[in-house]
Amino acid sequence: MRTTWGQRLLVALPYLWLLVLFLAPFLIVLKISLSDLAVARPPYTPQFDLSEGWSGLRDFLAALDFENYVFLAEDSLYIDAYLSSLKIAAVSTAITLVIGYAIAYALARSPQRWRATLVMLVILPFWTSFLIRVYAWIGILKTEGLLNQFLLWVGVIGEPLTIMNTNTAVYIGIVYSYLPFMILPIYATLEKMDESLLEAAADLGSTRLAAFFLVTLPLSLPGVIAGCFLVFIPAIGEFVIPDLLGGSDTLMIGKTLWVEFFNNRDWPLASAVATVLLMLLIVPIVLFQRQQMRQGMGS
Amino acid sequence: MAVTLPFAPWADPDVAPLIEIRDVTKRFGAFEAVKSLSLAIYEREFFAILGPSGCGKTTLMRMLAGFEAPSEGTISLGGQDMAPIPPAKRPVNMMFQSYALFPHLTVEKNIAFGLKREGTPKAEIAERVTDIMRLVQLTDFARRKPDQLSGGQRQRVALARALVKRPKLLLLDEPLGALDKKLRQETQFELMGIQETLGTTFVIVTHDQEEAMTVSSRIAVMRDGELAQVSTPTDLYERPDTRFVADFIGEVSILEGRVTNASRGGVGLSVMEGAPDLRAATRTTPPAGTTAWLALRPEKVSISVLPPAAANRMRGKVLDIAYLGNISTYHVELADGAIVKAQESNRQPADRRGITWEDSVWISWEEDAGVLLLA
């Protein structure tokens, strides 16, 4: 069959989109990361200039180097920030999984007529700005905030807890913000599960707990994996939450990047940080893609 | 010379039933799905619970499996009250209508699931799984997942998975409902063969009367949460107790009338003003004047153009002919508008059959051909 131009264009569109909106900006960032810091506007050299002709291009390429990457590897601050980001993302994902699974399970087991409403409630926070919701947590978590007032009033604690500006606040913020991304894919797998499978497991001698681990959990695994990736990947690069809720000792790569870019105005180094972050993220993203593909073929 | 007695433990007062359902009622809110039902099922029986959808047959089966608890009454198995025993602990296994195969496990692991839960030693599990797979001809598919199997193969996995635990009682919920007709008929005979080989008591729930008739030793016909009749397939067909059962099992024409002169072994039945009374053989003799119904199976009614010499005959007009290839069913309208079906086998080629639409014909049947029903 011959493909028409229209069909080719249709196939080309998403690639064009990726080219313009992803690949081109990335190449610019990559180029900046290979440049040197300069007191100029924009603050780096060399500048890409075609007016000089071939020799200009040769000079331009010769001026690019991996200095910034070497610097990243030598200064333990950046390595620590990357590792700390990975750790915070991993721990948050684990906490989100436990809470999200429980909520998804409750949703899937709730009476049919309530389900649409309950799922709606899970999505409801998206109707408000993410930034405002994170700000709201400051009001809850700060020393004289709602949580401390409540706990003091109940009498559980004698003096206010310091949660604000600690890693704990960052965990709370990430878990809260990304919970819906965990709940929805798990709910989707649990909801379509045939309930007679659990009856069959009981009929064949399983306790309810055994049936959960032998039937429910394995069958919801695709949802669990999807949810974990959807939380883990954006959590690594998270900037707003550690910036607003975290303290000075909260080390996350998104925040480091922001400081390099805006405070230090070191665009080349910030670009190198961003490029390495992207490389780090590609691994889980590729794994996620592959898992989604396999699932797509299985069903 | 040895005499083989027919298999009929229900007729032997010395045999204790395997399952005894006593006055069991099941309510869902205000709705009574099962109404004070009592039933005894014997070891090695292939027992069918038959009824239209919503008659409570599935609820009754789920109570046997333990997924529902009776609101009133008791169910005992082998003399032991089942009420406190959860499904996981009952010596009962169920084959689900949807088969409920675990999609993430292979055929082999699906079948081994129940044995592993019991803590059966590994070597024994392997042996029993291999044996049962051979019995249901699944050996070649051991490593496949359920979604790589055909409907018939899935049905056999479900059967094997339930049987491998050697239950005292196997429950089958519409086991062949998902299969096409040809496969269903083959599978019916396979099921009977397997049941005979293993000697397990089978209870099958179905709405398909043909299936129930083919496979079972006895059939319980249910209607609105109650038992309409419990009999062998032959008795159910030849000697139904009520119009509902007569109508539910096979094809039947029912004539309403009044009992005129009852005598030993038979009664007269007046069905139409001016027509001679019909003669019907009965075992009971209802008093004259009682309203009664005569159930006639189409294959026991003859149709002819000339007046026949038979105990009962009536005139009518051919309204419809259903040609089924080997047989034809004639729908004959009587003078009062009642319709009686008569069946003839098509020994003659179609073009030489003498009777056609609108023809005036005689229908006739012998005294013992019909069944007199009082309800």
Q: What digits encode the pLDDT tens for the residues A148-191?
A: 999 999 988 888 889 999 999 999 999 999 999 999 999 999 99
Looking at this predicted complex, what is its ipTM? 0.82
Q: Are residues A104 and A238 in the same domain?
A: yes
Q: What is the pLDDT of residue A248?
A: 83
Angle separating helix axes A267-298 and A67-74, nearest 10 degrees? 80
Q: Are residues A180 and A121 in the same domain?
A: yes
Q: Are residues A290 and A167 in the same domain?
A: yes
| Helix (H) or strand (E) run with residue B254 in it | strand B253-263
pLDDT band for position A1 (cuts 50, 70, 90):
low
Q: Are residues A64 and A89 in the same domain?
A: no
* pLDDT 10s digits, B178-199: 788 888 888 889 899 999 989 9
Measured in Å, how far apart are chain B's first and last C-alpha atoms?
Answer: 45
**Is the pLDDT higher at B131 or at A293?**
B131
Of A197, A210, A298, the CB nearest to B102: A197
**Percentage of chain B exceeding pLDDT 90:** 55
Strand partners, B308: none
Q: Are residues A185 and A117 in the same domain?
A: yes
**Percentage of chain B exceeding pLDDT 70:** 97
- Is some CB atom of chain B closer than 8 A to the CB atom of A159? no
The rounded distance, in Å, linking the Cα atoms of A33 and A268 is: 4
**Is the pLDDT higher at A235 or at B289?**
A235
pLDDT at B38 over 90: yes
Q: What is the pLDDT of residue A91?
A: 96
* Smallest CA–CA distance from B102 into chain A, residue: A197
pLDDT at A92 over 80: yes
- Is some CB atom of chain A closer than 8 A to the CB atom of B65? yes
Q: Are residues A163 and A56 in the same domain?
A: no
Q: Which of A167, A1, A197, A5 is nearest to A88 (CA)?
A: A167
Q: What is the pLDDT of residue A208?
A: 92
Q: Are residues A44 and A147 in the same domain?
A: no
Range of the domain at A45: 39-68
Q: Are residues A140 and A250 in the same domain?
A: yes
pLDDT band for position B352 (cuts 50, 70, 90):
low
Provide the residue ranges of all domains of chain B, joining segments of one domain with +.
Answer: 15-244, 251-373
The CATH label, of 2.40.50.140, 3.30.420.40, 3.20.20.70, 3.90.170.10, for the domain at B251-373 is 2.40.50.140
pLDDT band for position B1 (cuts 50, 70, 90):
very low
Whether residue A171 lies inside any domain: the answer is yes
Best of A195, A203, A212, A294 to mutate (most B CBs within 10 Å, chain B): A203
Whether B102 and A215 lie within 8 Å, measured CB to CB: yes
Q: What is the pLDDT of residue B325?
A: 83
pLDDT band for position A299 (cuts 50, 70, 90):
very low
Q: What is the pLDDT of residue B36?
A: 93
Q: Are residues A151 and A87 in the same domain?
A: yes
- Is some CB atom of chain A closer than 8 A to the CB atom of B89? yes
pLDDT at A298 over 80: no
Overall average pLDDT of the A212-220 stretch: 95
Whether B118 and A205 lie within 8 Å, measured CB to CB: yes
Q: Are residues A55 and A192 in the same domain?
A: no
Angle separating helix axes A24-33 and A267-298, nearest 10 degrees? 140
pLDDT at A214 over 80: yes
pLDDT at B5 over 70: no
Query: Cβ neighbours of residue A114 under 8 Å, at least 6 residues apart?
Result: none
Between the CA of residue B149 and those of A296, B31, B140, B141, B143, what are the distances in Å? 19, 39, 11, 8, 11
pLDDT at B13 over 90: no
Of B67, B97, B114, the CB nearest to A204: B114
Whether residue A30 lies inside any domain: the answer is no
**Percentage of chain A exceeding pLDDT 70:** 98
Q: What is the pLDDT of residue B4?
A: 61
Q: Are residues A62 and A146 in the same domain?
A: no
Domain tally for chain A? 2
Q: Are residues A79 and A62 in the same domain?
A: no
pLDDT at B257 over 70: yes
pLDDT band for position B3 (cuts 50, 70, 90):
low
- Would you list the DSSP string of A163-198? -TTSHHHHHHHHHHHHHHHHHHHHHHHHHTS-THHH
**Is the pLDDT higher at A123 or at A291?**
A123
Distance from CA of B154 to the nearest CA of A (A): 14
Domain B15-244 -> CATH class: alpha beta
Helices (H), chain B: 57-65, 107-118, 122-135, 151-163, 181-198, 209-215, 233-238, 243-248
CATH number at residue A93: 1.10.3720.10
